[in-house]
Structure 1
Amino acid sequence: MVGVLKSTNNTKSNLSKDEKIALKDLRKEDTILILPADKGKSTVVLDKKDYEEKVNIMLNDDKTNEKLKNDPTARYKKKLVSLLTRFKKEEKITVKEYWKLYPTVENNPRMYCTPKIHTSGNPLRPLVDYCGSIMYETSKELARILSPLVGQSQHHVINSKDLAEDLVEIMIDEGEEFISHDVVSLFTNTPISESLEIIRHRLTEDASLNERTKLTVDDVMEILAFALTTTYFSFRGQVYQQKFGTEVGSPVSPIVANLYMEWLEKEAIATAPVNCQPRLWKRYVDDVLEIVNKGSAEQLTSHINKIDKTGNIKFTYEKEENQQIAFLDTLIVKKPDGSIKLLVYRKRTHTDQYLHFQSHHPLQHKLSVIRTIMDRKDKVITEEEDKPIEESKIKEALKLCGYPEWAFKDVDKKKPPKKEPSQSVTRGMVVLPYKEGLSQRARRIFNKHGIQTSFKPHQTLRNILVHPMDKRDSLQTAECVYEIPCRNCEKPT
């Protein structure tokens, strides 16, 4: 490995001199913020002062957030360690699991926002960077334990392919129409007490819980309640406590919100008046697709908005237009005979921006872009005559991103076989920063020793220019390698 490192030349930059100067100037500019849009591949440039004013207005809403005088991290860590220590003593978690969940760093979760450019007024969506916080590993473990409970419903949608398979045989009567519902800010409005009751009931009925953990239902509920009621974050040096809902960024939040929505939809469908009873109800997290009688959308919306007794979960709805409606990344089109077909849907803010072929990424990453988009075309579009039209759009967009014709032919020739479960024993995996030539040679060396490798871009425009979160002190950096001075010389190792 040392020989490989010594013999590798520096990679030629794929940026021109003018582009490098422009990047340097943009990095120095402190009056603007460059952010990714909430959805899609768009990049948004905001006045920094305007952005911070909007965020502060949001945070100063005392119904949802409370300013804290003191940082609660040390207090919360003490409580978490107490719980973990008790579980270890009772042999409900192993020593290895204890040290995996033990919070070795004490970083505050950091809040930032992304602009919703697809929504009128371009409001901001709050997000929280949970990595490096004391509850991060524990939240991941809770998500692992609870995730098998999600999706045990005929109304659950996994992805667009799953939706396409469910809709392929659907026929629409003349007196029916498609509508869709969307929950307003689901995560931050999910009621915690009610969700905990629902999850306790589901865990009690789960016969396979002891296959995933030695923790009892009471144990899981105790640590889950702790995780969901210690939601705090910082913004520009000020620490806030979130008063209601789950924290956007915590690994367990999507699971909790999903389980609450499964309960809510079951209640809503069972108690809906006959004249607005949906014939079809398909839900992906906070988006719902329904088939209802024409003219019943408002009544159904009024009904489902009364199910959540806290009054926080509210739905908005959209009706089909011109015999079609968008749901996820599909466009559902009603045909004259009552059958339907599905096409790929792109929002009006869609940019056709994909990984550029000249970017410094492994070739397999670039070919995967083609493979993924073509795969979506094959799995979502239901009628064969529509597929060549979509394929033409894909090729046109990717050619603008520098993709040569041979890349499409290569993907078409080398369709990956279905992966069989590997029988070989591996000694783990390492993630290597990608450097053309060096990384491939390093992979071959690691493979000889049974170590799997994957590549990660070392430097991208996003990590150079996009910095929405508060900057951390270098000593607060987690999961890194520190420079340790040798005892016998002045050179660091």
Structure 2
Amino acid sequence: MRVNEKLDTEEYHSKLDLILGDSSKFEKLSYNPIEEIKREANKTIEKINAAKNAVHFQIIIGDFSPGYVKTHKNGNPLRPSISQCPTLTYHLYSVAVSTEFLGKLKGSHTSYTIASLDVEFLFTNVPVGETIDLILERVYRDPSNPTLNIPEEALRNLLEVCTKKAPFTAHRGHTYIQKEGVAMDSPLGVLFANFYMGVVEERVFSRICRPDMYVRYIYDTFVMAHSAQDIETLRRMFEEYSCLRFTVEHSKDGRLPFLDVHISPITIGFDTSVYIKPTNLRLCLNGDSECPTRYKASTIKAYVCRALFRCSSWAATHQELDRVAQVLVNNGYSNRQVSREIKLAMDTCFDQRQDSLPSKHTLLASAPPIRAQLPEDKMVTQHPGLSGKAVYLYYSHSRIATLSWQVGEAHQGEIYKLG
């Protein structure tokens, strides 16, 4: 779906009807059970809160609307997502997730086969009852875990209230509950999906050897193995020991997009850069919009930090910043504002890395030789032999960073900003 296209209302409603018509996942109710569920949940919460040294939960107060369009896919399919921010059980749970992927690629063998595994509709296919049993088994019967001062039955009741008994009002005014699978916009949905996937991995890797590299972010998995057959065996085993279905995207000429990273093989290891989907509309917060200036600055900073953290070479970084600058100008930002904010954003992003390094220098990139663009379009290549000599990286004819080759204080081939 492009900028000037609209999804017809009836088409949107018919796609929602198709999703909600799956009786194995959703149940249409003849009444709104919110008050009934609220009383049941609060009764459990009051018992937990009354116990000495127990975890304290807030008494719940509190509704839902499903369906977001996937504009980046052909046919504009709907994502079966149910917003739970205003629901009565939303504040009972919260989940934070993060991933470290780029560091694992450094120094990997490019002779291996790489691919990505994707779970088809993971959230709506998570077996809720089985996952609750698995969570309780791990919490209460795994001796390596600390004792949880909540009765097992009470925790089970709360988990069921937050998943199986969360009513929502659909587009035609009818009330439904999702009786199987978890809502994508529920914080608990991420926990359930991640936990179930972890159990599936334990089952599979207890029977076959783990691939040379296996990195998963919720339902997207990067795999590096000796052959395509090994990856196919892994896919088949995942399906055998779960109720899920998996698809595989193999690399083309050794290149593969994974999340927002484009991976390309080089002599040693892999080169990485920012991956932009072909359907990306190049839209962002408009520079002429009525919002605080710090929101606009934050938009630019997010672009710059992504370029710095995803790109493994200054050539790729410079190319991405050129693209970002054009996107920002197209969205109402002035060239002067873009240049100023990119400089500030780069300084901020550099400073964010200082605490993670043992010395006062900040690691910027690891992909020698490094090219830095100077005014008058002159290019200078920095080699290990130029130890101690400063190189100035310019962007839009404005000096934004001072770099120095520190062979004696860092690994050869790494560029550091002086602290």
Q: Under a length normalisation based on structure 1, what TM-score does the superposition of the two structures give?
A: 0.65
Higher relative contact order (CA 8 A, sep 6+): 1
Change (3 A) 1:266 1:383: farther
Instruction: Verify the 8 A CA contact 2:32 2:167 in the aligned structure 1.
Output: no
Query: What are the residue-to-residue correspondences of 1:79-478 with 2, within 5 Å?
Result: 79-91=40-52, 101-105=58-62, 108-111=63-66, 113-138=67-92, 140=93, 143=94, 158-159=98-99, 162-173=100-111, 176-204=112-140, 205=142, 214-216=149-151, 218-235=153-170, 236-272=172-208, 278-296=211-229, 297-308=231-242, 311=243, 313-335=244-266, 337=267, 339-411=269-341, 412-413=343-344, 415-416=347-348
Asked whether the equivalents of residues 231 and 246 of structure 1 are also in contact (C-alpha less than 8 Å), the reply is no
Rate the CA distance shift 1:76–1:43 in 2: closer, same or farther, 3 A: farther
The residue type equivalent to 2:272 in the other structure is L
Matched AA of 2:42: V
Q: CA deviation at 1:350?
A: 0.6
TM-fit CA distance, 1:43: 7.8
Say if 1:356 and 1:401, in contact at 8 Å, map to a contact too: yes
Classify the secondary structure of the residue corresponding to 1:271: coil
For residues 384 and 262 of structure 1, the distance between their equivalents in structure 2, rounded to whole angstroms, comes to: 37
Q: Give the 3-state SS of the residue equivalent to 2:256 in structure 1.
A: strand
Cα distance in 2 for residues equivalent to 1:409 and 1:261:
44
Given that residues 180 and 289 in structure 1 are in contact (C-alpha distance below 8 angstroms), is that contact kept between their aligned partners in structure 2?
yes
Distance 1:228 1:246 in 2: 6
How far off is 1:58 after superposition? 1.9
Q: Is the 8 A contact 2:72 2:280 kept in 1?
A: no
> Which digits, 9 at most, give the CA deviation of each residue in 1:44-102, with x for residues without a partner?
511111211221122112222222122221221121121122123324558xx55xx22
Q: How many residues align?
A: 348
Taking every aligned residue pair, what percent have the same amino acid on both sides?
Answer: 22
SS of the counterpart of 1:291?
strand
Is the CA contact 1:331–1:345 (under 8 Å) kept in the aligned structure 2? yes
Task: State the SS of the aligned residue for 2:308.
Answer: helix
Contact 1:324 1:334 in 2 (8 A): yes
- Please give the alpha-carbon distance, in whole angstroms, between the structure 2 residues aligned to 1:374 and 1:109: 35
2:196 & 2:322 partners in 1: Cα distance? 42
Asked if the contact 2:128–2:182 (Cα under 8 Å) also holds between the matched residues in 1, the reply is yes
Residues of 2 paired with 1:122 and 1:408: CA distance? Answer: 33
Q: How far apart, CA to CA, are the structure 2 residues paired with 1:218 and 1:370?
A: 49
| Structure 2 counterpart SS, 1:102 | coil
For the residue of structure 1 that corresponds to 2:165, the secondary structure is: coil
Provide the rounded CA distance (Å) in 2 between the counterparts of 1:377 and 1:72.
Answer: 48
Counterpart Cα distance in 2 of 1:57 and 1:201 = 36
1:11-31, CA deviations, whole angstroms, 9 ceiling, x for partnerless residues? xxxxxxxxxxxxxxxxxxxxx
Structure 2 partner of 1:465: none
Give the match's secondary structure for 1:134.
Answer: coil
Give the SS at the match of 1:298. helix
Q: Is the 8 A contact 1:268 1:307 kept in 2?
A: yes
* Contact kept? 1:232, 1:240, Cα under 8 Å: yes
Rounded Cα–Cα distance in structure 2 between residues aligned with 1:413 and 1:230: 48
Q: CA deviation at 1:290?
A: 0.2
Gap runs ≥5 in structure 1: 1-36, 151-157, 422-493
Q: Is the 8 A contact 1:177 1:294 kept in 2?
A: yes
User: Would the aligned equivalents of 2:262 and 2:273 in 1 still touch at CA under 8 Å?
Assistant: yes
Distance in structure 2 (CA, Å) of the matches to 1:292 and 1:302:
15
Letter in 2 for 1:271: R
Q: Which amino acid aligns with 1:318?
A: E
Please name the residue that 1:480 is paired with: none
Counterpart residue type for residue 375 of structure 1? C
Query: What TM-score results when the alignment is normalised by the length of structure 2?
Result: 0.75
Q: CA deviation at 1:381?
A: 0.7
What's the CA shift for 1:418?
5.1
RMSD: 2.8
Q: Distance in 2 between matches of 1:384 and 1:132?
A: 44
Aligned: 1:59 with 2:20: yes
Q: How much does 1:163 deviate?
A: 1.1
In structure 2, distance between residues paired with 1:123 and 1:294: 33
Q: Distance in 1 between matches of 2:118 and 2:193?
A: 14
Distance 1:88 1:359 in 2: 46
Quote the offset at 1:194 in angstroms. Answer: 2.2
Q: Is the 8 A contact 1:367 1:407 kept in 2?
A: no
Q: Distance in 2 between matches of 1:192 and 1:316?
A: 22
Structure 2: 5+ residue runs without aligned partners? 356-419
Whole-angstrom distance in 2 between the partners of 1:57 and 1:260 = 26
> What is the Cα deviation at residue 207 of structure 1?
6.7
